[in-house]
Amino acid sequence: MNCLEERIAKDGVVKEGNVLKVDSFLNHCMDVSLFKEMGAEWKKRFAGKNINKILTIEASGIGIASVVALEFNVPVVFAKKNKSINIDGDMYVTEVESFTHKNKNQVIVSKRFLNSDDHVLIIDDFLANGCALQGLISIVGQAGATVEGIGIAIEKGFQSGGQIIRNLGYQLESLAIVDSMDAATGTITFREQ
Ligand code: G4P
C-alpha cells in the first residue's frame, strides 16, 4: 500500500451512497505532509514529462495542487466555478455537471494564465464520473495547450470516469483506486497497482 492508501484505510469513512469521507486529511483538514509525499510519487510517475503548469479546480483540488506544484516547481492555475452569468471574451469557459451534487457549474479560466505554450499536469482530489476532469481537459484544449498527464488522489474505480479518461489516451495516475467499499462494514478494497 502507498501512503495515501494507508491513510484512507486508517482514517477514511465509508458513507451510504458510495461516498468516501476523507475530510480529516484530504479535503477539509489538510495533511500537507501527506500531500508532499503524493507530490513526490507523481513526480516519479510523470518523470520525463515536460510540465510547466498545474491545473486544478476549486475548491478541494487547490490545496493538493499547491503542494504538488512545489515538487514540480511550477505555478498552479485553478479553474473557478463561475457565479456570474456575464463572461467576457477573456475567459475559457466550460460546463461541468456534478453527478454527486446534481448541479451544473460554469467553469472558467482566464486566457492570461493558459496558452498554447503550456504543458499541463491536471491534479484533482477525486475522480468519480470524470465530469470535472473532462471540463478541465476542454479548457486545456481551448487554450491550445497540451495535457501531459492527470494526477488524481482517489479514483472511484467502480464509477466510469477512469475508464473514459484512459480510453481517451491520457496518462492518468490515480494514487488510490477504490474498487469497492461497504458502508455497513467500513471495508475499502483497493485495486492492485
Ligand atoms: P466527477 O467530477 O468525477 O464526475 O465527480 P462527481 O460529479 O461525481 O463529483 C462531484 C463532487 O463530489 C466533486 O467535488 C468530487 O470531488 C466529489 N466527490 C465525488 N465522489 C466523492 C466521494 O466519494 N467522497 C468525497 N468526499 N467527495 C466525492 P466538487 O463538486 O468539485 O466539490 P469541491 O469539494 O471540490 O468543491
Pocket lining for ligand 1, CB < 6 angstroms: 19-22, 27, 59-60, 98-101, 125-132, 156, 161
pLDDT, tens only, 175-190: 999 999 999 999 999 9
Dist. CA 150 → ligand 1 center (Å): 16
> Ligand 1 atom closest to Cα of 60?
35
Dist. CA 158 → ligand 1 center (Å): 14
User: Which amino acid is located at 173 in the chain?
Assistant: E
**pTM as predicted:** 0.96
Of the pLDDT bands very low, low, confident and very high (cuts 50, 70, 90), residue 14 is: very high
Stretch (H or E) spanning 38: helix 32-45
For CA atoms 94, 134, 149, 56, the dihedral sign is positive
